Amino acid sequence: SEEKSYAGNFYQLHQLKKQRPNLKTLISLGGWTLSNPFSEMASTAARRENFAQNCVDFCKKYDFDGIDIDWEYPGFADHSGRPEDTVNFTLLLKTVSEKLRAQNPALLLTIAAPAGPNHYKNIEVSKIHLYLDWINIMGYDFHGPWGGDEDALTNHLAAIMPTEYGHPLFNVSSVIDYYISQGVPEEKIVLGLPLYGRSFASAKDTPSGLYSTYNGPGYATTEEVGYVFYSDIQKNLLNTYTSYWDPKALGAYIYNHTTKDFISYDSEQSWTLKAQIIKDRGLGGAMVWELGMDTMPDWKMMTHLNNQLK
C-alpha cells in the first residue's frame, strides 16, 4: 500500500506533492560527509551504469522528479578524490542523464556545484551543463574559521563582491561570472544562499572584528563548531551583538564587543541584493542551505526571499 511504501520525510514530501501538484522533488546524493564513495563508483563504465539504473529505480519507487548529485568534490584528495575524477564526473552525468531521460524525459538531473576555483577547476563545466537541467552553485563557505593562508583573518562567508583580504574570486559575483564564461546558460544557474553563519573567536584586532586575527571557531548553535543557525542569530544573538554591513564586499556580520565573537552570515539585506542579482542576470533561481535553520513558524528569510524574487 502507499502507506507502506513511504515513511518519514519521503511520506511528507509525497503528501505535499498531492497538495501542490506542480511541486518537483529531487533526491540529493552525496554531500560533504558522504562523498567519499563517488570516485570509486564513477571510475568504470559498468559502475556508472549501475549507479544510473539505481537512480532511475529510486525515482520510480519513491515518486521523485529527479536526482541531484552533490559530489564534494571531484579530484578532492581529502574525500578520496583523484585526478581522473574530472573526466569520470562528466561521464557519470552523461550516463545518469541518458538513463533518466530514457525512463521519462521529464525526470530532472541537477548538481550541487563548487563556488571556489580550487574545486571548480577539477570539473569540466563547459561540458557537464549539457547533461543538466540546472546547476546549484554553493555560494557560501568562501571563508570560515579554518585557519590557513586564505582564512588567517576573519572574513565573509558569502560576500557578493571581492573582500579586502583573501582570494579575489571568493565571492558570489565572481563565481557567477565563471560559470557563465564556461558556456552555462544563465537560466541553468541557481544561486545557493546560506541560512547559517560562521563564527570566529577572539577577533580583537579591528574595531568591528572584520579582517582580524582570531582564535578558532566561536559560538555555535549545535555540536558543529563555528556553525550558527540564522534562527539562533535572530532570536538569541542580535540583542548582545552589534550588526554591521560591509559596503565594499556587500556582506553582513555581527560582533560582540564584550566577548570579541565575530559572525559572518546572510541578512535580509544580503538576500535582497542576491535576489536582485538573480533577476538582473536572468538566473534560474535560488537554492537555500538549509530550511531547518530559518525562524519558525514565520519562515522569516524564506518569506523574504520569495517576496524579493516575485
Q: Which residues are catalytic?
A: 72
d(CA 274, CA 250): 10
Which amino acid is present at 260? K
d(CA 305, CA 310): 9
- The secondary structure of residue 28, as a DSSP letter, is E
d(CA 139, CA 171): 8
- Give the H or E element holding residue 52: helix 45-62
Instruction: Strand 242-246: give its sheet, edge to edge.
Output: 227-229, 196-200, 261-265, 251-256, 242-246
Torsion on CA atoms 78, 79, 84, 90, rounded to nearest 10: -130
d(CA 279, CA 167): 26
Joined grid coordinates for residue 152: 588567517
d(CA 32, CA 136): 15
